[in-house]
Structure 1
Amino acid sequence: MMVQVGLIALLVVAYVIVSRILKSSITLLGQKKYANEVRITYVSKTLHLGFTAIFVLLICLVLGIGYGQLAIFFSSVFAVVGVALFAQWSILSNITASLIIFFSFPYRVGDWVKVVDRDDEILGQILEISTFHVIIQRLSNDVVTYPNSLILQKAVVRFDNREAALAMSQFQPSKTSVDKVEGESPSP
């Protein structure tokens, strides 16, 4: 009994320490990548939730709950969650893609990019990278929300500036729309 109490106390201390390290590491990485504060909080909470699930599993094992009982419980939970998410598979894949984008996406908010897509030209400036999609403002000032899971599957070209993006565009905006984007007044 005393061994179990000691192990549980040790696990709690380790949980608190690792949670703080995890949160500060994610915050530092997010600031290094110039990620939005809301995005950093989302990723931190998501990973903290997974870490908490592992912690609860370890506590159950220390308390002597058998593998068979845990297997039945977790298989039941995963079956219910699996059935619930089967209809919403794209939501789950976008959330997973969101975590991948946070840690390894080579583009940031403010970059000029072109998503290579046969059906449509998605060329513009990244305004926001959110939980489910990347928001891109096109040269024509239209705003496109592109799903995270799709942007990981497509080739993405990054441009140094607006002029380089404009040179590669199939769409050539009129002088008036260029002036509006740059903040100048059109000439009469």
Structure 2
Amino acid sequence: MILQIGLVILLIIGFVIISRIINNSIVLFGKKKAVADVRVSYVIKMLQLGLIAIGVLLTCLILGVGYGQLEVFFSSVFAVVGIALFAQWSILSNITASLIIFFGFPYHVGDWVKVVDKDEEILGQIIDISSFHVIIQRLSGDVVTYPNSLILQKPVIRFADEKAARHMSQYMEKLTDQQDTQS
């Protein structure tokens, strides 16, 4: 019993150390990429949730909870979560895409971009990247909320500045007008 208590204490100390290292690394990474503090705290919370789940699992194993009991518990939890997310699978994909965007998205708040979409021209400035959407303000002032999971699937063109974005918009208008007159 003393050995188990000692192992649990070591696990808690290890959890605190690993948690601080991960938090500091994410904060530094967020500052390096000039990411909003809200996004950094969101990513920290998501990773903390994963660490807590691993910590609870390891604590249960140290305290002698049987694999069969853990299997029943986790299969029940996953069944409930799976059924809840099945109806809204896009929520899970947007949350996952949000983490991918945080670590690997080459565009930042303030960048002028065009999302290449055959149905709708989305050209403007990224004004926010939230947990579920990239929010783009068009040249006309309209605001578009584009789902994170979709923006990872579409080509995105980044412009050097607003002038280049406006030039592209004018070019596309001329091209559309020419096509309309030919029809």
* TM-score normalized by the length of structure 2: 0.91
- State the match for 2:12 in structure 1: 12
Structure 1: which 5+ runs fail to align? 173-188
The answer to whether the aligner puts 1:163 opposite 2:168 as a matched pair is no
1:81 to partner: Cα distance: 0.6
- State the match for 2:60 in structure 1: 60
- State the match for 1:24 in structure 2: 24
Show CA shifts across 1:121-158 (max 9, x none).
Answer: 01111000001100001111111000000000101111
- State the match for 1:49 in structure 2: 49
**Aligned-partner SS, 2:145:** strand
Paired-residue identity, %: 69
**Aligned-partner SS, 2:152:** helix
Structure 2: which 5+ runs fail to align? 175-183
1:171 to partner: Cα distance: 4.4
- State the match for 1:72 in structure 2: 72
Number of paired residues?
Answer: 172
C-alpha RMSD of matched pairs (Å): 1.1
Q: What is the rounded CA distance, in whole Å, between the counterparts of 2:3 and 2:173 in structure 1? A: 70
The answer to whether the aligner puts 1:94 opposite 2:94 as a matched pair is yes
1:68 to partner: Cα distance: 1.5
Q: What is the rounded CA distance, in whole Å, between the counterparts of 1:80 and 1:112 in structure 2? A: 41
Q: What is the rounded CA distance, in whole Å, between the counterparts of 1:140 and 1:151 in structure 2? A: 21
- Aligned AA for 1:59? T
- Aligned AA for 2:19? S
1:167 to partner: Cα distance: 2.0
Q: What is the rounded CA distance, in whole Å, between the counterparts of 1:128 and 1:29 in structure 2? A: 18
**Aligned-partner SS, 1:77:** helix
Q: What is the rounded CA distance, in whole Å, between the counterparts of 1:38 and 1:69 in structure 2? A: 38
- State the match for 1:33 in structure 2: 33
- State the match for 1:135 in structure 2: 135
Q: What is the rounded CA distance, in whole Å, between the counterparts of 1:30 and 1:54 in structure 2? A: 25
Q: What is the rounded CA distance, in whole Å, between the counterparts of 2:120 and 2:30 in structure 1? A: 31
- State the match for 1:126 in structure 2: 126
**Aligned-partner SS, 1:153:** coil
- State the match for 2:154 in structure 1: 154
Q: What is the rounded CA distance, in whole Å, between the counterparts of 1:78 and 1:145 in structure 2? A: 31
* TM-score normalized by the length of structure 1: 0.89
- State the match for 2:180 in structure 1: none
- Aligned AA for 1:125? Q
- Aligned AA for 1:28? L
